[in-house]
């Protein structure tokens, strides 16, 4: 089998899937980003959780389960490793693990290095607080981005016990900083009772399209996808997938499960509707291995990451200047 453009010796995909060091999708480990088109990285941080911790262990378990992934997408025919030079570029390293503001800066700096190298970032969390600093690296008020966000929660809440960098807040912070254009953002799968409605209200009053799970069920996958595509249009768009958007039957290993969610089959079908959008990055967050004894949530996380990888590889081929 031919290597895919990165000179790292033997092709990891050629080895049996149970062998060797587990990188994301068994891609080569290229921490210096040399020649990388799509940079998969881990963000082992869960200092932003408001309830059950554990997502800091997500990247390692997603890497492990991602060894089950193969190359060619049976539904779309896409082989992301043929379309782009795909690598695992390692984990964000934290200078101060008990300081959320410092962790936010560390994540931003890591993501900025990827963006400035010309590579497309694809992250594995970590809790959802990690997406805000990735947006700080990808966008600015002069060029806000759009977002397809799949989650049980809008993650647009204000400070929690005095801390603004938490996993219920990334998209409020991003909207307040002008990093996202709320009119080009959609949040799909929202559900679960709240003690107060501050986050729902922020999303709706800022202009985001909030699709509760009941509307998702009524529209079906195709209808929901059509609405998402109408909202984000052809501008630069990021996909952020919180595994708690899925029903906990499929993804029990997460910090804030909410029953009555999206199925894995719906999720894969939904993502495949987003081919050839102008996609600039993505993430899968909130896989919490301590609540995932079977490893299935990490497998689900790895599979979602693979589907987003396929989308990013195609989208990159669409963009002018992609080589």
Smallest gap from residue 224 Cβ to Mn ion (A): 18
Closer residue to Mn ion in complex, CB, 83/155: 155
Among 88, 151, 258, 283, binds Mn ion (CB under 5 A): 151
Interface region with Mn ion, contact rule CB under 5 A, candidates 108-116, 145-153, 266-274, 275-283: 145-153
Number of residues engaging Mn ion in binding (CB under 5 A): 4
Tell which one of 4, 128, 166, 184 touches Mn ion (CB under 5 A): 128
Q: Nearer to Mn ion by C-beta: 127 or 307?
A: 127
Nearest approach in angstroms of CB 269 to Mn ion is 21
Residue 220: which residues within 8 A CB-CB, separation 6 or more? Answer: none
CA 287, CA 63: separation in Å to the nearest integer? 12
Phi-psi region of 207 (alpha: psi -120 to 50; beta: other; left: phi over 0): left
Residue 146 neighbours by CB under 8 Å, 6+ apart: 180, 181, 184, 185, 231, 232, 233, 235, 236, 237, 238
Which residue lies nearer to Mn ion by CB, 151 or 307? 151
- Which residue in the block uniquely carries the two structure tokens 């989308």? 311
The CA distance from 3 to 21, in Å, is 17
Is 192 within 8 Å of 153 (Cβ atoms)? Answer: yes
Torsional class of 283: left (φ above 0), alpha (ψ -120 to 50), beta (otherwise): beta
CA neighbor of 65 nearest in space, from 21, 25, 124:
25
Nearer to Mn ion by Cβ, of 73 and 129: the residue is 129
Q: Examine residue 292 and tell whether it contacts Mn ion (CB under 5 A).
A: no
Three-class secondary structure assignment of 30-88: CCCCCCCCEEEEEECCCCCCCCCCCHHHHHHHHHHHHCCCCCCCCCCCCCHHHHCCEEE
The contact mask relative to Mn ion for 154-173 (x = CB under 5 A, - = no) is -x------------------
73-112 footprint of Mn ion as x/- string (CB under 5 A): ----------------------------------------
Q: Are 188 and 269 in contact (CB under 8 A)?
A: no
Give me the 191-230 binding string for Mn ion, x by CB under 5 A, dash otherwise.
----------------------------------------
Is the distance from CB of 279 to CB of 121 less than 8 angstroms?
no
Stretch that binds Mn ion, among 39-47, 91-99, 128-136, 309-317 (CB under 5 A): 128-136
State the minimum distance, in angstroms, from the CB of residue 37 to Mn ion: 27
Q: 151 in helix, strand or coil? A: coil
Cβ 241 to Mn ion, closest distance in Å? 9
**How many CB atoms sit inside 10 A of residue 74's CB?**
7
The stretch among 29-37, 126-134, 274-282, 297-305 that binds Mn ion (CB under 5 A) is 126-134
CA-to-CA distance for 239 and 39, rounded, in angstroms?
15
Task: Measure the CA–CA gap between 48 and 57, rounded to whole angstroms.
Answer: 14
Residue span binding Mn ion (CB under 5 A) among the ranges 16-24, 73-81, 150-158, 207-215: 150-158
Q: Which is nearer to Mn ion, 242 or 266 (CB)?
A: 242
Mark 234-273 with x for binding to Mn ion (rule: CB under 5 A) and - for no binding.
Answer: --------x-------------------------------
Candidate segments 48-56, 147-155, 201-209, 301-309, binder of Mn ion by CB under 5 A: 147-155
Residues that bind Mn ion (CB under 5 A): 128, 151, 155, 242
């Amino acid at each position: 089998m031919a290597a895919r453009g990165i000179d790292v010796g033997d092709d990891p995909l050629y080895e049996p899937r149970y062998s060797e060091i587990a990188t994301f999708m068994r891609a080569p480990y290229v921490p210096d980003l040399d020649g990388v088109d799509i940079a998969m990285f881990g963000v082992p941080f869960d200092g932003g959780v408001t309830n059950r911790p554990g997502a800091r262990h997500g990247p390692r378990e997603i890497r492990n389960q991602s060894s089950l992934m193969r190359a060619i997408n049976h539904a779309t025919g896409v082989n992301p490793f043929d379309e782009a030079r795909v690598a695992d570029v390692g984990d964000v390293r934290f200078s101060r693990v008990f300081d959320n503001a410092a962790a936010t800066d560390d994540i931003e700096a890591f993501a900025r290095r990827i963006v400035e190298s010309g590579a497309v970032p694809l992250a594995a969390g970590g809790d959802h607080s990690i997406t805000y600093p990735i947006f700080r690296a990808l966008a600015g008020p002069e060029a806000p981005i759009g977002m397809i966000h799949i989650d049980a929660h809008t993650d647009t809440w204000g400070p929690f016990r005095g801390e603004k960098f938490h996993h219920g807040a990334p998209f409020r912070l991003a909207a307040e900083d002008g990093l996202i254009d709320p009119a080009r953002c959609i949040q799909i799968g929202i559900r679960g009772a709240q003690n107060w409605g501050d986050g729902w209200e922020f999303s709706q009053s800022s202009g985001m399209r909030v699709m509760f799970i009941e509307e998702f069920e009524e529209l079906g996958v195709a209808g929901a996808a059509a609405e998402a595509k109408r909202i984000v249009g052809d501008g630069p768009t990021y996909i952020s997938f919180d595994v708690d958007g899925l029903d906990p039957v499929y993804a029990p290993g997460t910090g804030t499960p909410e029953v009555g969610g999206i199925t894995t089959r719906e999720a894969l079908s939904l993502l495949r509707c987003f081919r050839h959008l102008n996609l600039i990055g993505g993430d899968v967050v909130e896989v919490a291995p301590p609540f995932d004894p079977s490893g299935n949530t990490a497998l689900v996380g790895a599979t979602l990451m693979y589907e987003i990888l396929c989308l990013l590889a195609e989208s990159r081929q669409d963009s002018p200047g992609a080589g």
